[in-house]
Each structure stands twice: as structure tokens, then as C-alpha cells.
Amino acid sequence: MYRTYRQSLFVHLRAVLQEKFQVEIARLTVEEPPKVEMGDYALPIAFELARTLRKAPRKIAEELVAALGSVPGFTGFEVAGAGYINCRLDRGPVARKFVEVEQWLPPLDYALLEHTSINPNKAAHVGHLRNAILGDTLARFMRWGSSKSLSFMPPRVQNYIDNTGVQVADVVVGLTHLEEMDLSGVKRWMETLRQSNERIDFVCWDLYARVSQWYEAGLDQKEARKQIRLDTLHALEAGSNEMAVIADLVSTAIVRRHLETMQRLGIEYDFLPRESEILHLHFWDAAFALMKEKGVLYQETQGKNAGCWVMRRAGTAGADGENPDEEAKVIVRSNGTVTYVGKDIAYHLWKFGKLGLDFGYSRFHTYPDGEECWISTEHGEEPHPSFGHASVIYNVIDSRQADPQNNVIEALYGMGFTKEAENYHHFSYEMVALTPRCATELGYVISEEDQSRPFIEVSGRKGFGVKADDLIDKLIAAALVQVNARHPERSEAECHSIASKIAIGALRYYMLRYTRNTIIAFDFQDALSFEGETGPYAQYAVVRAANIFRKANITPADALRAFEKIDAAAYFSGEDGDSLWELWLLASKSVHMLERCIQSTEPAYMAKYAFQLAQQFSNFYHRHHILTESDPNRKAVLLATAAVAQRELIRALAWMGIEAPDVM
């Protein structure tokens, strides 16, 4: 609603600017006055026009105000400060409008959103949680934004599985060389794990760390061991051998664990494309042919890259005729093997439907809500949902991968796929690191140098990090202590369900509250906090509102219907009315915030918004004791205020994958 009136204000302003001053402003900026009593929107337009019109800003503002006349939904415009135009909404009618339900629009095309993408060789850790939570939240934003008054594309969510990469190879080396198992041994081992309820991803977490040490240990054997690693990697890539079968068994089992972990947070996927199929279905061959045809690849004849197929890098001069382009990106090495970037280009050509090849698909997992998750295979089942052929893609990948991502984008530009390159969004975010204190708590020995740093990078190779499931378990346990103390009458199952929602709320909020390019220095103390700017704080506001309605024996929907019959304008005036209106105004900004979040791919704005809304509601809650209000009309207005605030808060939280429990 805030958004609707904002747009209507734009339309009127543009018309007036055109008519009165014959100017067109491509981007109109709208701000908010520092205080509610000053108005609901602030236009700094007069400042911008001062130069071109050679007039004082205040004078321009006055003329504009006169020309604007009356605009539906607005009571007036006034000049403030050095030349701001402050716009006031007609509070009573606008509030009534806000109570109405929005209309639906049919979805258009779809957007391919890829996130999580954990190497299937170890347990998920906090860094992966940030990725998955950011990605899932963006998916939720887009899902809503495609089905209601905004016109964004609905997402299809993919989780890329690098099941033939070096990390999986490392675990296979661990099993075959450190544990000295063959295929049947691995099968027996996995069966033992199943029976003892041990998690394969946890066991491999340690095994992976051990293998990494094993490679380094023993100077005389170092080379031989590195060769074992390389041979194993090549075996996985080739497929159809014992190593590849072991890799497939282990990585698939771990992928299932990752899916379970993410499911605890309400995160689901539509499709799991795997690197094994990209290799075995020869995606690269098709891409190679296409790249040569389009002229983005050439074979270097001299210099260090002689014999390689290379691609010119973005922002470099390139070859000058005499000297080879030493900065060019190698796509195919002189020995004929394809680099990671090469495979990635092929995969992204598939994403945009430009490769001419497709995966086979088979069902992999069915979620409790009935949604199905598919996985790539060589020979799939029919019928299957359609993937690929996206017009817009989002890749949720941390900022360290910016270079490889840009290489793919560069290749798309080079091949003439300009539209695709422009619609390729690297959703970049900074890593999650550990505070030195947290690392020490976990029992790691920290060097003196690291002690003084604000954070230390996690490392799967060293087995250094916080496992996602351990963190979730800790959060639930911490929440459970408080739930049990507050609600001794509730059953164990009920308490656990409430504690889970609080834990998920705390975790998801924690991962979302930081803007994307802020490095999160993870600390249990912060993550386990349920006070202040946290998920549970916002959930608590929802619960309190629910308590009011329960005690008042009225539903929020009834409260809103009752409100429609009242002339509320009187209750929105005066000092008290201002503070009441402030809450309505903030509540009405939810969809506007959603639009901003999707456009800027910045979920942190939603987290901030939800917190502010909860904060203002808490303030309102303490200020007005609704149930004892004697004036029936005023009581109805207060109830409607609580209903509106609660409704928008629930919505904002839902967009972030956070649900408030019934009681807290």
C-alpha cells in the first residue's frame, strides 16, 4: 500500500514537472521525513531542479506544491526545510484501503536460482548455512513477488552437486587408502553406519581432514600420495570403475544428509544437477564446439600457455599480435583436460537453454509437503518437470568465487549471448568465519597471530568449523530450556516444536541480518542470543499480538472488519494519533520492502524491517492497554492496529522462512 501510493505520487509529479517546467526526471527519489508528524513521503526534487531552472529550491518547491493541487489519497503537500516537499497521506481512508486484500496476478516466466551447492564429502557447516538461508530467502521473496501484486518471476531452485570433484576424491582416497576398503568394504561400512545411526557426513568430516594431513605427511611419500589423489580424481571423472562407484555411493548418501539438514530449516530444492552427468552426457564437447564456432576460444601457439585453448579475460589487453596473452584464461590444458571454468561454461549454456543438450531426470526425494526433488541422471524417467531454459539466473556463491563467475559471464558475452550475460546474477556474499574465542571454545589451538584477528576462516580441509546440525541442536537445546521453564504444563513434544521454531527463527535471522558483503564472525554467544535484534524478538511480538486476540476472544480478521465500519480519522490525529499512524505506515511498507529486497538482492533489508516493525509493535503494546480500553471505537482501532502489525510481521517473517510459534 505504501508502494501503491508512492507510485501514484510519481505519476502525478511527473505530469506536473512535464507541464510546468517541461522537464523529465528519469529517476525520482523519494525519502521519508525524519518525523511522522512532518508527513509520509519527502521529495527532494526541488534541490535537483535548482541548478537547471536557476531558481531557489524553496521557490520551486512552492510552485510544485501549488501545481500538484490535490492527489487522491493525499491530504496535502507542504514545503519544509530548504526545499523539501513533504506529502501527507489521508490516514483514515488509506488505513481502510490497507485492510483490504490484494489481488493476484498469474506468474510469467521463471528464474533459475541455485544455492547451497555443498561438496558432498562432509557435513554442512555454518558457511553453507549462510548460503542456503540467503538463497532460500531470495526464493521465498521471488515466489511471493511472482504470485501477488509484484511481477517477479517465480524461482526454480537448484542445488548443484560436484560429485566428481577433488573433494569427493579426497574422501574416496581416505576410504580406500587410509581405511583400506574396497567397494564391498565400503558397502559394509555404510551399512554399519546406518545400523548404529552414525552420520556419514560427520564421519567423513573427520576423514577428509585426516586425508588432507596424510597428503602432507612424509616427505618421501608426498609425491606418490598426490599422484594417488590425481589418479582417483581422474577415475571419478571417467566413471564406470570401482572408485567412481564408491564415490557415487558415498556422495549420494551425504547429499541425502545435506537435504535433511536443510529440511530442518525449511529449505527445499527442485533439482540437483550433478557434475557426473555434465561429464558423461558430454556437455563440454557441445560447449567446446559452440565456443570455437563463436570464436571466443583460440589455441595459443607460444608462451607459457602454448598448446592450450584459452579465452581472453575481462579487462585485459589481450594478445597484441607479437606477444601471447599471458593473462588469458586457460579453458583446455595442453594435455587436453578441461578446466573447471570450461565445465562451468557448458553448464551455464545449459541453464540458458543454449547448449542443445539436456540432463536425464529422476525422482530423488519427496518432501513432507508433497514437493518433489529431482536429480540428474544419464537416462531419466518420463515424464519429468522441465529445467534449464531459464531467462534469468541467480547463483548464490560466496565472493571468493567472483573471478570464476565473471569468466563464465565473459564467455557468454564473447559468444554473443548478451541478454543471457546481463541476466546472469552472481548473488555474492562474504564468508562466515569464526571469532578466535569461538575457535578456542571448539577446542582448536589458535596461533598468537590469529588470536589478535577479528576472525579466522573456517577450513574443511583442517576439519575446522561449526557443523550446521550441531549448531541447530545447540539452538534448540537453548530454546528448550526457556520453553520448559515458561510452559511446564505443555507436553514434551509441544515444547520441542516451539523450541525448534525459535531456534530456526534465531538462526535464519542471524544469517540474514548482516548485509551480504559483511564477513560474519561467528560466535555462539551472538548466534544463541534470543534478545534484542534477533529472530525470537520478532516472533515474540507476533505471539503477544496473538495473546491479545485470544484474550479478547476475537480473530484478527474480525478486528479488521470491525475497523472498516469506524471513522478512524479522529484516532490518527494528535500526538497519540501520530504514533499510532507510524505503526500503520511502517506495516504498510512490507511489499515495498519486498520489492527493494528482490531488486537489490539484499535480504538484510527484510530482516531490519521485521525487527523495526516488531520494535514499534512492542512499543505500541506497552503504550496502549487494549483489553481495558473503555471507548469501544478506540478499542476497535487499537485491535485493528495490532491485527495489521501482526499480519505484516508474520508475512515479513514468512518471507525469511521464519514462523512464530503459538506461544513463547
Closest by CA to 566, choosing from 630, 631, 636, 626, is 636
Alpha-helix runs per DSSP H in 217-339: 222-238, 242-264, 275-280, 283-294
Distance CA 252, CA 159 (A): 13
Distance CA 213, CA 570 (A): 73
Cis peptide before 368 (omega within 30 of 0): no
Closest by CA to 371, choosing from 381, 382, 385, is 385
Residue 354: CB minimum distance to RNA, A = 26
Give 274 or 592: the residue with its C-beta nearer to RNA.
592
Take residue 613 and report the three cell numbers written for it.
516493525
Give 341's strand partners.
Answer: none
- Structure-derived torsion over alpha carbons of residues 374, 380, 386, 387, reported in degrees to the nearest 10: 60
Give 51 or 379: the residue with its C-beta nearer to RNA.
51
Residue 615: CB minimum distance to RNA, A = 5
Q: Judge whether 87 and 40 are in contact, CB under 8 Å.
A: yes
Q: How many helices (H) and strands (E) does the chain have?
A: 26, 16
Residue 384: CB minimum distance to RNA, A = 36
Give 103 or 630: the residue with its C-beta nearer to RNA.
630
Give 181 or 663: the residue with its C-beta nearer to RNA.
663
Residue 404: CB minimum distance to RNA, A = 8
Helix, coil or strand: residue 27: coil
Take residue 447 and report the three cell numbers written for it.
596461533
Residue 518: CB minimum distance to RNA, A = 3
Helix, coil or strand: residue 387: coil
Strand extents, DSSP E, 145-258: 155-158
Residue 38: CB minimum distance to RNA, A = 6
DSSP 550-565: HHHT--HHHHHHHHHT
Give 59 or 389: the residue with its C-beta nearer to RNA.
59
Q: Judge whether 496 and 479 are in contact, CB under 8 Å.
A: no
DSSP 103: P
Helix, coil or strand: residue 133: helix
Give 608 or 634: the residue with its C-beta nearer to RNA.
608
Give 192 or 316: the residue with its C-beta nearer to RNA.
316
Q: Judge whether 126 and 522 are in contact, CB under 8 Å.
A: yes
Residue 516: CB minimum distance to RNA, A = 8
Cis peptide before 106 (omega within 30 of 0): no
- Structure-derived torsion over alpha carbons of residues 551, 557, 559, 564, reported in degrees to the nearest 10: 180
DSSP 464: B
DSSP 342-368: HHHHHHHHHHTT-SS---EEEEEEE-T
Residue 80: CB minimum distance to RNA, A = 4
Give 81 or 353: the residue with its C-beta nearer to RNA.
81
Give 246 or 483: the residue with its C-beta nearer to RNA.
483
Give 278 or 434: the residue with its C-beta nearer to RNA.
434
Residue 7: CB minimum distance to RNA, A = 14
Give 243 or 466: the residue with its C-beta nearer to RNA.
466
Residue 182: CB minimum distance to RNA, A = 34
Give 252 or 579: the residue with its C-beta nearer to RNA.
579
Residue 208: CB minimum distance to RNA, A = 17
336 dihedral zone (left: phi>0; alpha: psi -120 to 50; beta): left
Residue 29: CB minimum distance to RNA, A = 5
Closest by CA to 588, choosing from 88, 152, 40, is 40
- Structure-derived torsion over alpha carbons of residues 408, 412, 415, 418, reported in degrees to the nearest 10: -160
Give 23 or 402: the residue with its C-beta nearer to RNA.
402
The gap from C-alpha 363 to its chain's centroid, in whole angstroms, comes to 25
Residue 456: CB minimum distance to RNA, A = 9
